Amino acid sequence: MTDKYCVIGNPIAQSRSPEIHAVFAAQTGQDMSYERCLAPIDGFADTIRRLVAEGYKGSNVTAPFKLDAFRIATRLSDRARAAGAVNTLAYRDGEIFGDNTDGAGVVADIVRNAGVPLAGKRLLVLGAGGAARGAMLPILAEHPRTLVVANRTRATADELVAQFASLADGCSLSACNFEDIAAPFDVVINATSASLGGTIPPIPAVTFCQDTLAFDMMYAKNPTVFMEFAAAHGATTRDGLGMLVEQAAEAFFVWRGVRPETQQLLKDMRSKL
């Protein structure tokens, strides 16, 4: 029988996950279907129970349900536990396994697709919310020399740094306010949602130089305002479309044990923006 998967959210019509996973399934010869699932805001748990009863094998989870998915999982991966949120569920052997592939998607796109290694580099993460938290463990696993978390509210950044201090493994891990940034970084990751509103975090121009990769987790047809600001100060820029594709590939691997190729799909999706 064809294995069934879906992406759960509210709203969900905008999700590109069915397109992505259809390509992955065809490419790897997997007998599976994938659809969108609109869950009521107060009905996530009931939706999961229904999917399990109907024989679904797994789900991606998008806004606003990543915390609900974390709570409903009966077993968590290390990266989901560290992130405090789940974007991938697998229903198997009577359990609900929760994982978080967002951070792995960020790292894969930077290291593999952009060709920028993170080992030994100076990294800056802008924002200390859920997106930043999800990226921390995969970033630290790359062994950067320095990782600074900058946030509008310093206490929130301090809390995030304290949470991951025991996992730093030789990396200098610290926090600051946006306006306290005083030197350029090798890689700057915008994990805020500011680009959605057409704004940027209040960071100084000194954050960037000609050797900086400025990565925005958001994506659009045109460069985000964050990317424009970074480019104006010498940085190379990259948006979050590759992250979207790579986090989906990681979820596909969690479900199927096969890692799909992403390069052509990423090119095709870029051309359709």
Phi, psi of 61 (to 5 degrees): -130, 130
Helix (H, G, I), strand (E, B), or coil: what is residue 74? coil
pLDDT digits (tens, 9 = 90+) for 89-125: 999 999 999 999 999 999 999 999 999 999 999 999 9
The model's pTM is 0.95
User: In order of start, what are the domains of the chain with their CATH numbers?
Assistant: 3-100 (3.40.50.10860), 103-241 (3.40.50.720)
pLDDT digits (tens, 9 = 90+) for 40-52: 999 999 999 999 9
For 163, other C-beta atoms within 10 Å of its C-beta total: 14
Which among 66, 121, 221, 267 is annotated as catalytic?
A: 66
pLDDT reported for residue 138:
97
In 3D space, the residue among 107, 105, 100, 59 whose CA is nearest the CA of residue 80 turns out to be 100
> From the annotation, which residues make up the binding site for NADP(+)?
78, 127-131, 217, 240
Q: Are 87 and 100 in contact (CB under 8 A)?
A: yes
pLDDT digits (tens, 9 = 90+) for 31-80: 999 999 999 999 999 999 999 999 999 999 999 999 999 999 999 999 99
CA torsion angle for 158, 214, 253, 144 (degrees, to 10)? Answer: -50
> From the annotation, which residues make up the binding site?
15-17, 62, 78, 87, 102, 127-131, 217, 219, 240, 247
Helix (H, G, I), strand (E, B), or coil: what is residue 13? coil
Instruction: Mention every residue, 6+ apart, whose C-beta is less than 8 A from residue 67.
Output: 84, 85
Look up 66 and say whether it is catalytic. yes
pLDDT reported for residue 108:
98
255: tokens are 């479900």
| DSSP structure class, residue 170 | T
pLDDT reported for residue 247:
98
